[in-house]
Chains A and B, each alone.
Chain A
C-alpha cells in the first residue's frame, strides 16, 4: 500500500474508483495553471473561468438535486470531487452561493426565486456573499440589529454588516435582518432576505485582512429598498433557515484535506531546508500525521453514517474542533520547518513551486473563528452531547 494521506481510508467502490480516475484526469487537464497550489488567495474574478469549466462539465454542484441543476451525487462522489480538485492544489469554488445559500434556496425558495437565482449560482455569473455578522453580533448572532421594515411591497433596510467574505466583489447578498424588534426570543424576529448590492443606499468597503489582502468587506445600508419577493421563507422565519444543516454540507467544511496538504507541503519544504534530516522534525511530523489519520478515520466514519442517516448531533462540533486546530498545527509546523523563511513575505521556491508558509499560517487562523468559533462549538458539545448544566 502506498502511504497517501489525502485519500487514506476512502471507500471507493468500483464505480466510485472509476469516477475518481475520471475526475482526476479531467481536473489535471482543465484547471488553469495560475490557480494551482497558489500561496495567495484566489479572487472571485480569477475563480470565474474555473467555476465555468466545472459548470460546463456538470460537476459544479454535486450536492444539489438534479431538478435544481445539480448532480444529485452520493456523498462519496461529492467527496471524490472535492478530494480530486484539491489533490493538485486547485481551489474549490466559493461556497457562499453553491454551498451556503443554494441549499436554503432549494429548500425554502419559491419556484420564481429558484428560477431567478439558481442559474447564476450554478454558472458562476453571479457572485454571492453571506451577510450575517455585524459589529455587535458575532458569536451571539441572534443579537443582530440591521433592520428591514416592511413598507408595502418593499422592505426598507438600514444597518451595517461586517466580515463579509467577497462582499466587495459580490452582486448579491443573502442577509439575516431584524424584521421584528420586539420579538422574544430574539431569533424569532429575524428574516432572511436577498439584497442586490447595486441598489441605491448600499456602500461597500473592503477590509484588509491579516494576510494583507482584502478578503472581506463591510456594507452600510441606508434606506435600501428590497422588494418583498426577495424574502426567503416566512417572515421572521430566517433563523431556522440559516442555522439548519442541510444534507452533506458539513462534510465540505471539515474535510481533512487542509491538514493533509499542509503536511505534504512541510515534507517538501523540509527537503529543501534540511529539516528532513532531523529526527525532531520527523517525530513532530509523525505526531501530526497520526492526528490526521485519526481525524480521517472519524471523517470517513461520519460519511458512512451519513449514508445510513445515522449521523449523531455531536459530529458537527467534533469535526470543527478536530479539523481546525489540526490544520492550524500543521501550518505552524510548516512555518517552523521553513526556518527563517517562515517569517518572509517572499515566496519560497520549492523545486519550482512557490510556497509561502506565512500565508498558509494566516489562512488557517480563520478556520477556528468563522462559522461558529471553536469555543462556541465546545459549549454546544458540552451542553447538547455531554448534557452539562448551564
Chain B
C-alpha cells in the first residue's frame, strides 16, 4: 500500500523515482558489473546533488530535516533500479553524524558536498564474521593507532574513508571504551572480492592505522548508542532496498507471464501461477508496510532494535523467495545471463547476505524479545 506522505514528501519521492530510473536500470547494472566497476559515479553524484545524503540529517546539523522514512522510500527505488551506490550506507552514517554535532561537522559537510564517501566498516551481524571485531585503538602522543580486521565491507575501494568503531585499549578509563572515528583509506589494507551481483566485499586490515584526534567523533556511552543506532539503520535501509528489488522482480514476472504463451494461453491464466504470484505480492506488501512503519518509528524516537532485526530478516527472506519464484516462472530464459531477472536474483542474494541474513537477524530478534 502507498505510504502516507505530506506533499513535500511526495515530491521528494517523485524525484527519487525519476533519479533512479534515469540513472539506474538493469542495463546500467550489467554494464557496471561487466566492467567490474564498484560504484556508479554519475548516479552517486546525482544523489549527492539532489540532497539525498542530507535528507535524514537534522536541520541543526545542516541537513534537510526529513527522516529515515524518506530515505527508505528513495532506497526502495534504488533497489528497484539496481543502483550500484552506497546509498543505504552513507545515508545512515550521515544521519548519525548529524546527531553528533560539532565533532562530526567537517566529515558530514564533506559527505554532503560529495567530497568524500564515508562508508561504515563495522563487524557485521551473523555468520561469516569470525575474526571480524572492533579494532583496538591505542593512544600515543595525542594520536590514535588502530589494529584489527573487519570483513565484508561494501564499497571499500571507492570510499575515501571508513566510519569505524574502535575499542580503546587504555586500561585507565573503564567507562569510555568505544570511540567512533574516521579512518582514511590509504592507511588500511584492502583485500577485495567481487560478489555475484557485481558489488564488492572487502576485508579491511588496520595495522597501526593513524587516526588524528580531530577524526574522533564520539566516545563512551554516546559512541555505543550511536553505533547501535547505526547498525539498526543499516538493517533498515538495506531492507528498504530489498523491498524494491523484490517488488521489481515481481512486476517483471507479471509482465512476462501475461505475455508468454504456452498451451495456447498466457501463462498468467494458469491458476497455479496466479496463486504463486499472489503470495509473492502479499509477502512484499507486508514488508513495505513494515519498512515504512519501522523507519517512521525511528524518526519518532520510538525505534527498537528488534524492529530493525525484523526488517532485515523478513526483507531478506522475501527477496530471496520472490526472486527465486521469479526465476522459476521465467523458465529457461531466466537461467540465462542475458535476461535481466537474474540480476534481481543476484542483487537479492548480495543484499540479503549483508548486515545479517534472515537466520541471523531472526536469532537477534529472538535475543531482543525474550
Which residue numbers of A lie inside 8 Å of B, CB to CB?
1, 3, 9, 279, 282-283, 285-287, 289-291, 293-295, 297-298, 300-302, 304-305, 308, 310-312, 314-315, 317-318, 321-322, 375, 377-379, 381-383, 385-390
B150 at the interface (CB under 8 A from A): no
Take A321-B279, A322-B286, A386-B278 as given contacts and tell me if A294 and B314 are in contact as well, using a CB distance cutoff of 8 Å: yes
B293 touches A300 (CB 8 A): yes
Question: Closest CB-CB distance, A10 to chain B, in whole Å?
Answer: 11
Query: In the assembly, what is the distance between CA of A387 and CA of B268, in Å?
Result: 9
B271 touches A379 (CB 8 A): yes
A-B contact pairs, 24 of them (CB 8 A): A1-B302, A1-B304, A279-B363, A283-B362, A283-B363, A286-B365, A290-B309, A290-B362, A291-B286, A294-B286, A294-B287, A297-B294, A298-B286, A301-B293, A302-B1, A304-B4, A305-B1, A318-B282, A321-B279, A321-B282, A379-B275, A382-B268, A388-B268, A389-B269
Contact with A294, one of B265, B290, B363, B368 (Cβ below 8 angstroms): B290
Which residues between 277 and 298 of chain B lie within 8 Å of chain A, taking CB atoms? Answer: 277-279, 281-282, 285-287, 289-290, 292-294, 297
Residues in B neighbouring A315, C-beta threshold 8 A: 1
Is A378 a contact of B363 with CB atoms below 8 Å? Answer: no
Residues of A within 8 A of B302 (CB): 1
Bound together, the chains give a CA A315 to CA B258 distance in angstroms of 23
In the bound complex, CA of A311 to CA of B257 (Å): 27
Task: Say whether A388 contacts B366, CB under 8 Å.
Answer: no
Q: How far is the CB of A13 from chain B (nearest CB, A)?
A: 13
Contact in complex: A301, B363 (CB < 8 Å):
no
Q: List residues of chain A with CB within 8 A of the CB of B271.
A: 379
A3-B306 in contact (CB<8A): yes
B258 touches A294 (CB 8 A): no
The residues of A that contact B279 with a CB separation of less than 8 Å are 321, 378
Number of A-B contacts (CB under 8 A): 128
Given pairs A283-B366, A386-B277, A388-B258, 15 additional interface contacts (CB within 8 A): A3-B304, A282-B363, A283-B359, A283-B362, A290-B309, A293-B290, A294-B310, A297-B293, A315-B1, A321-B278, A375-B275, A387-B254, A387-B258, A388-B269, A389-B269
- CB nearest neighbor in B for A292: B310
State whether A388 touches B293 (Cβ < 8 A).
Answer: no
Report Cα–Cα, A308/B289, bound state, in Å: 16
Determine if A388 and B257 form an interchain contact, defined as CB atoms under 8 angstroms apart.
Answer: yes
Contacts A297-B294, A301-B293 given; does A388 touch B254 at CB 8 Å: yes
Q: Which residues of chain B have C-beta atoms less than 8 A from A382's C-beta? A: 268, 274-275, 277-278
The secondary structure that dominates the B interface is helix
CB pair A290–B4 under 8 Å, yes or no, is no
Q: Which of A1, A300, A378, A388 has the largest number of chain B CB atoms within 10 A?
A: A388
User: Which one of A312, A318, A379 has the highest number of Cβ atoms from chain B below 10 Å of its Cβ?
Assistant: A318
Cβ of B250 to closest chain A Cβ, rounded Å: 9
**How many whole Å from A309's CB to the nearest CB in chain B?**
12
Taking the closest CB of chain A, its distance from the CB of B350, in whole angstroms, is: 21
B313 at the interface (CB under 8 A from A): yes
Let me know if B292 and A297 touch, CB within 8 A: yes
CB distance from B318 to the nearest CB of A (A): 9
Interface hub of B4, B290, B314 (most chain A Cβ within 10 A)? B290
- Does B285 lie within 8 Å of A318, measured CB to CB? yes
| Residues in B neighbouring A285, C-beta threshold 8 A | 366
8 Å CB contact of A290 from B2, B285, B365: B365
Decide if B366 touches A378 in the complex (CB within 8 Å): no
Which residue of B258, B282, B306, B307 has the most chain A CB atoms within 10 A of its CB atom? B282
| Residues 227 to 283 of chain B near chain A (Cβ within 8 Å) | 254, 257-258, 265-266, 268-269, 271, 274-275, 277-279, 281-282
Q: Are B254 and A295 in contact (CB under 8 A)?
A: no
Query: CA–CA, A58 to B321, complex, Å?
Result: 48
Alpha-carbon distance between A129 and B331 when the two chains are bound, in angstroms:
49
How many Å lie between the Cα of A310 and that of B2 in the bound state?
A: 9
Interface of A is mostly: helix
Decide: A379 and B365 in contact? CB cutoff 8 A.
no
Residues in A neighbouring B2, C-beta threshold 8 A = 305, 310, 312
User: Is B34 an interface residue when CB atoms closer than 8 A count as contact?
Assistant: no
Q: How many residues on B have C-beta within 8 angstroms of the other chain's C-beta atoms?
A: 43
B269 contact set on A, CB distance < 8 A: 388-390
- Does residue B369 face the partner (Cβ distance < 8 Å to A)? yes
User: A297 near B289 (CB under 8 angstroms)?
Assistant: yes
State which of B258, B277, B314 has its C-beta within 8 Å of the C-beta of A291.
B314
Report chain A residues within 8 Å CB of B254.
386-388
Q: In whole angstroms, what is the CA distance A377 to B274 when docked?
A: 11
Assess the A286–B362 pair: CB atoms within 8 A: yes
Which residues of chain A are within 8 angstroms of B1 by Cβ–Cβ distance? 298, 301-302, 305, 311-312, 314-315
| Nearest-CB residue, chain A, relative to B291 | A297
Measured between alpha carbons, how far is A310 from B4 in the docked complex, in Å? 10
For B366, list chain A residues within 8 Å (CB). Answer: 282-283, 285-286
Question: Contact at A287–B274, with CB atoms within 8 Å?
Answer: no
A144–B302 alpha-carbon span in the complex (Å): 52
A-side contacts of B278, CB under 8 Å: 317, 321, 377-379, 381-382, 386
How far, in whole Å, are A294 and B285 apart by their CA atoms in the complex?
9
Complex Cα–Cα for A214 and B271 (A): 35
Q: Which of A294, A377, A378, A382 has its CB near the most chain B CB atoms (within 10 A)?
A: A294
| Contact code string B347-370 (vs A, CB < 8 Å = 1, else 0) | 000000000000100110110111
Shortest Cβ distance from A386 into chain B, in angstroms? 6
Contact B363 A286 (CB under 8 A): yes
Contact of A385 among B4, B281, B294, B304 (CB under 8 A): B281
Which chain B residue lies CB-closest to A319? Answer: B282
For chain B, residues 13 to 53, give those with C-beta under 8 angstroms from any C-beta of chain A: none
> Are A9 and B362 in contact, CB atoms less than 8 angstroms apart?
no
Whole-angstrom distance between the Cβ of A299 and the nearest chain B Cβ: 8
Give chain A residues whose Cβ lies under 8 Å from the Cβ of B365. Answer: 286, 289-290
Q: Across the interface, do B306 and A389 meet the contact criterion of CB distance under 8 Å?
A: no
CB nearest neighbor in B for A377:
B278
Smallest CB gap from A281: residue in B = B366
- Nearest to A1 among chain B residues (CB) is B304
Neighbouring B residues of A308 by C-beta, 8 Å: 4
A390 to B265: give the CA distance in the assembly, Å: 9
- Are A378 and B293 also in contact (CB < 8 A) when A290-B314, A386-B254 are? no
Which residues of A lie under 8 Å from residue B4 when comparing CB positions? Answer: 301, 304-305, 308
A297 with B286: CB separation less than 8 A: yes
Bound complex: CA of A385 vs CA of B4, how far in Å? 20
Determine the distance from Cα of A310 to Cα of B3 in the docked complex, in whole angstroms: 11
